[in-house]
Structure 1
Amino acid sequence: MLFLAGDKNLIEIIIASLLNHNIALVYILGMCSLIAISNNVKNAFWMGVAVVFVVTLTGIINYPIYQLLVKTGTTNLALLVFIITIAATVQFLEMFLQKFMPALYNAFGIFLPLITVNCVVLAVSLFFVTKDYDFKETAAFSFGSGLGWMLAIVLLAGIREKLAKKSDIPRGLAGKGIAFVILGILALAFIGFTGIASL
């Protein structure tokens, strides 16, 4: 493994978050919006962008807040504070999209505000605490985890679009059923990256 000045290599953290520690395909987090939005590559891409933005921003905001809680001895409030930060960030994103990108806002529907309760966003903040990352590592891990989730949803959407056009899917597997099968195969593929980089 590469180490720079005693710190984990930030590139390595991002690569691990994308591949062998992919938050969607290895840790199986954030499935509800992943499956619901993944029937169209364009919507999947923009939902991925929204998740990257929210996950990265909340990780960066929650890090100094957690350090303050450690200093004051009130780390038991961390979960509540993290949730409030996530809710505020998603609310900001929702207002921004509604004002400047109304078509995209309407395409997301109920799933945009549901980013607030998407376990990926909270998990990233909890992971940086358990992994004892510094600020740069937290930012890299948050960005990489968001990109990993985005990669998963875009891959799933692309495969679902191709299958819908070119194959005769059995009725029992149509829609969300085939999405679960595809996710299982993708998860097996991504577990194959184990050992390429570590968190």
Structure 2
Amino acid sequence: MEHIELFFKSIFIDNMVFATFLGMCSYLAVSKKVSTAVGLGAAVIFVMAITVPLNWLLDQYLLQPGALSWLGEEYASYDLSFLSFIMFIATIATMVQLVEIIVEKFSPSLYNSLGIFLPLIAVNCAILGGSLFMQSREIPSLGLAFNYGISSGIGWFLAILAIAAIREKIRYSNVPPALRGLGITFIITGLMAIGFMSFGGMLTGGDEPKAKEETATVDVVKEDAQKELANNNTKVVE
């Protein structure tokens, strides 16, 4: 259940584009054609699916305070958390280079259409954001980290795919001159973000017992207050 909840929450509720607005440069620049958006989105999923678990391992066994205890008791007091950014970015850059080599080898047309934005995945803040969110939310296991990497990548993929499909359609629409290009794209992105916010209530089932408990507590307090008021009125009458 935890895996399923994290999967859907990362895609819809905590979407990298619509909830935190990360990776907007590539989202806006490479979303003019669906084919190009699909290629970049698949590359982002691949990179995040590998880098988030790798960075989880680095964080757990190298960077956290006391993470080096597996080397011996004399290393238990070491704290290398100040190296998190450097290590995470190095992992991401390595994986992006691997993706670039693979795409250039097997799909030269996609490689040419993506252009400079393929190597720029290395500085895509959505990729780094996935690893930093994984660290800040203290994801407890490697499996959940892998789940979070894939689901966050899928969320970014759906966002760029949706805006690319819409931009292909509105290219032939009667858009006011002042809003053509990025203007209408920003407006559509805002509306899509509002739509994705509506998924916020889809995974709130776990809060129902807590809400019922709070309601019961309030009822008890009200009942006690009414009894006390009734006793005071009785004393005044006497």
Superposed pair shares fold, TM > 0.5:
yes
For 2:28 and 2:121, how far apart are their aligned partners in 1?
A: 13
Q: 2:182 — aligned with what?
A: 176
Task: Answer yes or no: is 1:12 the counterpart of 2:37.
Answer: no
Task: Answer yes or no: is 1:153 the counterpart of 2:160.
Answer: yes
Once the two structures are TM-superposed, the CA of residue 54 in structure 1 deviates from its matched residue by 0.6
Kept in 2, the 8 Å contact 1:55–1:146? The answer is yes
For 2:39 and 2:29, how far apart are their aligned partners in 1?
A: 13
Kept in 2, the 8 Å contact 1:20–1:197? The answer is no
Once the two structures are TM-superposed, the CA of residue 197 in structure 1 deviates from its matched residue by 2.8
For 1:196 and 1:82, how far apart are their aligned partners in 2?
A: 32
Stretches of structure 1 lacking an aligned partner (at least 5 in a row)? 3-8
Runs of 4+ in 1 over 2 A off after TM superposition: none
1:127-148 per-position Cα deviation (integer Å, ceiling 9, x unaligned): 1111111211111111110000
For 2:105 and 2:148, how far apart are their aligned partners in 1?
A: 30
Once the two structures are TM-superposed, the CA of residue 161 in structure 1 deviates from its matched residue by 0.8
Kept in 2, the 8 Å contact 1:13–1:197? The answer is no
For 2:100 and 2:47, how far apart are their aligned partners in 1?
A: 11
SS at match of 2:200: coil
Larger radius of gyration, structure 1 or 2?
Answer: 2
Task: Answer yes or no: is 1:189 the counterpart of 2:211.
Answer: no
Once the two structures are TM-superposed, the CA of residue 183 in structure 1 deviates from its matched residue by 0.4
Cα root mean square deviation, aligned? 1.1
Once the two structures are TM-superposed, the CA of residue 195 in structure 1 deviates from its matched residue by 2.6
Once the two structures are TM-superposed, the CA of residue 75 in structure 1 deviates from its matched residue by 1.4
1 or 2, which has the higher helix percentage? 2
Q: 1:115 — aligned with what?
A: 121
Q: 2:34 — aligned with what?
A: 41
Q: Which has the higher contact order (CA 8 A, sep 6+)?
A: 1
Question: TM-score when scaled to structure 1?
Answer: 0.92
SS at match of 1:91: helix
1:96-125 per-position Cα deviation (integer Å, ceiling 9, x unaligned): 111221100000011111111100100110
Q: 2:103 — aligned with what?
A: 97
Q: 2:17 — aligned with what?
A: 24
Match of 2:80 among 74, 83, 96: 74
1:148-199 per-position Cα deviation (integer Å, ceiling 9, x unaligned): 000000110111111113x11122211222111110100011111113237x
Q: 1:140 — aligned with what?
A: 147
Paired letter, 1:179: T
SS at match of 2:199: coil
Tell me the number of residue pairs that the alignment of Structure 1 and Structure 2 aligns. Answer: 190
Stretches of structure 2 lacking an aligned partner (at least 5 in a row)? 69-78, 205-238
For 1:85 and 1:18, how far apart are their aligned partners in 2?
A: 23
Q: Percent identity?
A: 40
